[in-house]
Amino acid sequence: MSQTAVPAPYEIAGARVPIRMWTDPATVEGQAIQQLRNISTLPWLHGLAVMPDVHLGKGATVGSVIAMNGAVCPAAVGVDIGCGMSAVKTSLTAKDLPDDLSRLRSKIEQAIPVGRGLHSDPVDPQKLHGLGAAGWDDFWERFDTVAPEVKWRRERAMQQMGSLGAGNHFIEVCVDMSGSVWLMLHSGSRNIGKELAEHHMGVARSLPHNQGLVDRDLAVFIAQTPQMEAYRQDLFWAQEYAKKNRAVMMALFQDVVRREFARARVGFDQVISCHHNYVAEERYDGVDLLVTRKGAIRAGSGDFGIIPGSMGTGSYIVRGLGNEAAFNSASHGAGRKMSRTAAKKRFTTKDLAEQTKGVECRKDSGVVDEIPGAYKPIEKVIAQQRDLVEVVAHLKQVICVKG
């Protein structure tokens, strides 16, 4: 294949429903391939597309786009419901940034709790530039309708609104190839999304129609049942929580930048935001379907998206090309090529410092599992989906805040 050729999807043979994959199956771990075969056995499945950042997940494979008719699989969303990305281009340029970025990193970490941190008092959206109060009262009133098992988490959920979390979540200051400065972050629905997901996964596994599945983690809810309606209600609320969480963090992030660069009177473009662990109602082949993206973004024609690499390799702003063979989807990032446990065994803090040279970030043992060497090369992942998205901007981080 030439460098300019448009990649065509591979198909995994022997599946009940065709599995279209935007990477060579020979390069994918055997356990992930088996997971995809397991998914293809579900009788409600309409189609399955697999992104180039594919790797093993719990129940459903990360990097999978699962279109189902009259059913939805909670494990195909994952426990971080609504996890996704937000990014915004600023009026700053690389020349405006100080040589020592440690102060700016510290200010970001002071404004936005990371790891298991939360705000001592809930953030008031009315006090944040560009957010306002509209819709917030209704949003929190709808919390009273979620599963009774998690209602007691309301105070914690309010305090975690506008916080980062740990793992592969991050906040970054980036510079694009033209020298413009961008703000970017990656987070989801925090603990409340996790608890809602785990509750409904447990309910699904107990239902009679799921007892004969090849993998009980693939348990589904069926349309027009009380269990499906309860899940949909909590799912869409958690997806909204995740979106609002990123919006609050981005507003806090922008406030830090405004204060630190007050003389520059910083301006911001429209924020780009996209989920990559979620369910959407979409229509393909003349059929109304529930499309689950686990580690994938929507890439309909003209849709803006964000595909990050690792903490030392940069990210891409993309525009969707609307490829219906992939259910209008694209990858959500570089994708892991080894587990966190394997990365900790293989790499040291010295390796981390070397691979994140030039980035103001943590370089301690607590984030060795996030080392760039544990991820697939982001440039290759982008090249494998040239028929799914076009690149709008290539960013390289100069600050990376991790939990």
Are 180 and 90 within 8 A, CB to CB?
yes
273 known member of a binding site: no
Element (H, E) at 343: helix 340-346
Residue 332 bears catalytic tag: yes
- Was 172 annotated as part of a binding site? yes
Q: Is 47 annotated as a binding residue?
A: no
Q: Is 212 known to sit in a ligand binding site?
A: no
Residue 141 labelled as part of a binding site: no
Q: Confirm or deny that 80 is annotated as ligand binding.
A: yes
> Known binder of ligand: residue 334?
yes
Beta-carbon contacts of 148 under 8 Å, excluding residues fewer than 6 positions away, are none
Give 191-218 as a 3 state SS string.
HHHHHHHHHHHHHHHHCHHHCCCCCHHH
Residue 228: CB atoms within 10 A of its CB come to: 20
Distance CA 328, CA 50 (A): 12
Q: Is 250 flagged in the annotation as binding? A: no
SS3 329: strand
67 assigned to a ligand binding site: no
d(CA 55, CA 86): 23
User: In 3-state terms, what secondary structure has residue 385?
Assistant: coil
Q: Per the annotation, does 311 bind a ligand? A: yes
366 is in an annotated binding site: no
Choosing from 46, 200, 275, 332, which is the catalytic residue?
Answer: 332
Q: How far apart are CA 186 and CA 173, in angstroms?
A: 12
Pairing of strands 272-275, 277-284: unpaired
Q: What residue numbers does the annotated binding site for Mn(2+) cover?
A: 80, 169, 186, 276
Q: What residue numbers does the annotated binding site for GMP cover?
A: 168-172, 276-277, 308-311, 315, 332-335, 402
Show which residues are catalytic: 332
Q: What residue numbers does the annotated binding site cover?
A: 80, 168-172, 186, 276-277, 308-311, 315, 332-335, 402
